[in-house]
Amino acid sequence: MPFLEAVRLALQQIWVQKLKSFFTLLGVMIGVTFLIAVVSIVGGMSRYMTDTLVGKIIALNSFEVRQRPKINFQMTEERWRELNRRPRIKLDDVAPIAAALPSDARWAAYNVAQLPGESRFTARPKQLRVFTVTSDYFGIKRMEPVSGRLFNQQEYERGRNVIVVGQDVASHFFEGLDPVGRELTVRGLPYTIVGVMEKQGSVFGQSLDQFIVAPMTSPLNRVVAPHDVVAAVIVQAPSREAITTEMEAAREVLRVRHHLRPNQPDNFALETSDSALEFWNKIKSYLVIAGVALPAIGLVVGAIVIMNIMLVAVAERTREIGIRKSLGARRRDIMSQFLVESATLSTFGAALGVLTGFAFAKIIAMLSPLPAAVELWSVFLGVSIGAGVGVIAGVYPASRASRLDPITALRAET
């Protein structure tokens, strides 16, 4: 029997018993739903981590020289104490590190703290993320002002009381007004706003726009950090490949300055976006296991269900099989008829599973900060596995059907 005939016959069979067919393909459908949903959630998170999260917290092609890593997930008591014992990165360390870098590398140092700010235009103070930076900070982080300007050479040299602010700060303190030229007070001292920065967005629901930035030489630095330390030195390499060389250069300088012996580990952190991603990759591997296990369970159950329903179908259609054989159907005709039927059934189920997986992912994306986008390869995988499950599940029933003796089969009830 030609393939298309068999498929048409199979679809007819499915249609005739819609409800029964639906329950039969439920297992496969659920398995594929899980597959699509998990892949889209994991994929979305992965993309979010690499493109968004890490790109925003640690700039592209860059690394930071810090006392401790910015992103720490496996904090134990012991590690906490070890981290606290480490020396801080000093202002004096900056020049030697910069000197060791190749000429096409860019660098900047910064300090950061959380401090309250006030203005005349609103009674409510607000917690601000306060950065003090050296001049190339904005270039490395690729931050541009949407109104006003960045600091000029003189303001860096003289350490003027100037700041640029983030969007949330502008709208909170100066609603409806142009903040440029106005003042914001931090710890009693007024600072003039020279620019408002473009929107940075948010990370896991937390806004990144509640910051102000001042030159490191400004008085604001005194309330942000002790006078001789920096929180980190950001170094940006011109390409991904160059990062390693530059990291090694910085590492050498700091190890010497910290008087470390060759067998002692670093007592500072060189953090690239990769190291932040490392942890995510570990989580991802667990999620992938779940993403394989859950669909697998659904599909195994689905296969068992299909096999049993097909066995029942063969028993119910014994006479029909006898009729077909008497008309000239060979074993392989009967076999393929039932195999195609079970494969069509399960492929149908897989297709439905793709649709519900889609819906599932969309709902998750809407209701949570998790970004979930369906990946095309998972659709193909789901549908092909679905079809495969149907074929495997159908082999035994189809083979039984094909081996029925036509004479006995013709005597059966149906």
Binding site for other proteins (CB under 8 A): 1-2, 5, 12, 16, 319-320, 322-333, 406-407, 410
What three-state secondary structure class fits 19?
Answer: helix
| Helix (H), strand (E) at residue 60 | none
Phi, psi at 170, each rounded to 5°: -60, -45
Q: How far apart are CA 346 and CA 111, in angstroms?
A: 60
Q: Give min distance, CB of 409 to other proteins, in A.
A: 10
User: What is the CB neighbour count within 10 angstroms for residue 258?
Assistant: 15
Task: Give the number of other CB atoms < 10 A from CB of residue 402.
Answer: 21
- Start-to-end CA distance of the chain, whole Å, equals 22
Closest separation in Å from C-beta 306 to other proteins: 21
| Lookup: tokens for 116 | 């309250």
Q: Are 185 and 121 in contact (CB under 8 A)?
A: no
Q: How far is CA 150 from CA 158, 195, 271, 353, in A?
A: 15, 6, 27, 53
The residue count of the chain comes to: 414
Min dist. Cβ of residue 26 to other proteins (A): 24
Beta carbon of residue 407, minimum distance to other proteins (angstroms, whole number): 5
* Beta carbon nearer to other proteins, 17 or 368: 17
**Residue for token pair 């997930």:** 73
DSSP 66: E
Work out how close the CB of 1 gets to other proteins at its nearest, in angstroms, rounded to a whole number: 6
* Residue closer to other proteins (CB basis): 329 or 387: 329
d(CA 371, CA 357): 14
CB of 393 to other proteins, least distance (A): 24
Residue 111 or 402: the one with the smaller Cβ distance to other proteins is 402
**Which C-beta is closer to other proteins: that of 237 or that of 409?**
409
Sequence letter at residue 354:
V
Tell me how far the alpha carbon of residue 147 is from its chain's centroid.
32
Q: Report d(CA 264, CA 337) in Å as an integer.
A: 71
Residue closer to other proteins (CB basis): 5 or 252:
5
Cβ closer to other proteins: 272 or 336?
Answer: 336
Nearer of residues 149 and 330 to other proteins, judged by Cβ: 330
Residue 355 CB, nearest approach to other proteins (Å): 29
Residue 406 C-beta: closest distance to other proteins, Å: 5
What the block records as the tokens of 105 is 């590398």
- Output 141 or 324, the one with its CB closest to other proteins: 324
Which tokens go with 322? 């006898």
State how far Cα 118 lies from the chain centre: 37
